[in-house]
Chains A and B, each alone.
Chain A
Amino acid sequence: MARAEAVEPRFQPGDRVAVRIAYPPGHVRTPYYVRGKAGVVERLCGVYGNPEELAYARPGLPRQPLYRVRFRQGDVWPDYGGRAGDTIDIEIFQHWLEPSP
């Protein structure tokens, strides 16, 4: 089956996004702690080979847009003990992101 070389970016800086809730049993680069959480796109980093494919010695296609997404720490940890303005920025591939209200 022919695969597209790269996926078009669908999000822009400022967009509110949520991380998909899924637990694939293998190599992923979306940390467990952020799945299901919502944040804001800080930037599009570029389009890169998919690590979930590269890890299995495959070409990493289709290449996926990679974003830095900024989360409020209070939204990530239910009992976060820092300040309201504290944030965490994480690089997340587009196929893990959905638009969030």
Chain B
Amino acid sequence: MTADHHDDDHGHSHEHESAHRHPPRADLDDTLTYYRAMEIALRELLIDKGVFTADDVRKQVEDMDRRNPAQGARVVAKAWVDPEYRKLLLHDGGEACVVAGLDRGPYKLVVVENTPDTYNVIVCTLCSCYPRWLLGLPPDWYKSRAYRSRVVREPRAVLREFGTEIPDDVAVRVHDSTADMRYLVLPQRPAGTEGWSEDRLAGLVSRDAMIGVSLPRRP
């Protein structure tokens, strides 16, 4: 995979004018672009009008900062060790989150299971819908033109670009998250992990495996 850091909505590469489209620099927050000024202005106006407080904003940022793929990995690992939990996760993803001590989330969670003959991959072609309460904010590539355009049309080729080769006898199932559902892939448990604890198993579950572009790490 490339080390490119674009929020890349272009199908081709060219020189970008704006500094903030490149890998983050120490002074990123000091560059007052028009939209940065707009953010400050609107936030201050809304605080002045009593819509919310500065503290509300700070807490919301902190809450989002706390969310990361480890939460999703927990429900996957739990499903791997507990067949009853796996059934619950596939039947009622939100309830399964609650059982694991996590937030139910603002949307209905549909968990799709990889099997020996089915491989799942998630996209939102229309924007960037993503199970944020379980995985944190989505990576730039998930929101990119290239991914959103191509993974529905040529999923196997896109998976190959992530280093994931799906054999001919396995069906690829794409899920386009167009409305009120949010999706998580339940990957297959890697071989050679018999007797592992949930915590140890969770360490094998990457964010990309729960989106479906990668397999879980091997032991």
Contact = CB atoms under 8 A, between A and B. Distances in A.
A83 B176 contact: no
A30 B171 CA distance: 24
Nearest to B157: A81
Given A82-B172, A86-B172, A89-B173, A77 B179 contact: no
Contacts of A90: 175-176, 178
B181 interface: yes
A51 B171 contact: no
A40 to B, nearest CB: 13
Interface residues on B, range: 20 to 34
Given A29-B126, A82-B155, A87 B178 contact: no
Interface string B154-170: 11110000000000100
B205 to A, nearest CB: 22
B178 to A, nearest CB: 5
Nearest to A66: B179
Interface in A35-89: 45-46, 48, 51, 66, 68, 73, 77, 80-83, 85-89
Interface residues of A, number: 25
A68 B177 CA distance: 10
Contacts of A68: 110, 181
A15 interface: no
Contacts of A31: 125-126, 176, 178
A87 B168 CA distance: 14
Nearest to B118: A85
Contacts of A77: 153
Given A45-B108, A48-B179, A87 B174 contact: yes
A91 interface: yes
Given A29-B126, A45-B180, A88 B152 contact: yes
A23 interface: no
8 contacts: A30-B178, A51-B179, A66-B180, A66-B181, A83-B168, A83-B172, A91-B180, A92-B178
Interface of B: 108, 110, 117, 125-126, 152-157, 168, 171-181
Interface of A: 29-31, 33, 45-46, 48, 51, 66, 68, 73, 77, 80-83, 85-93
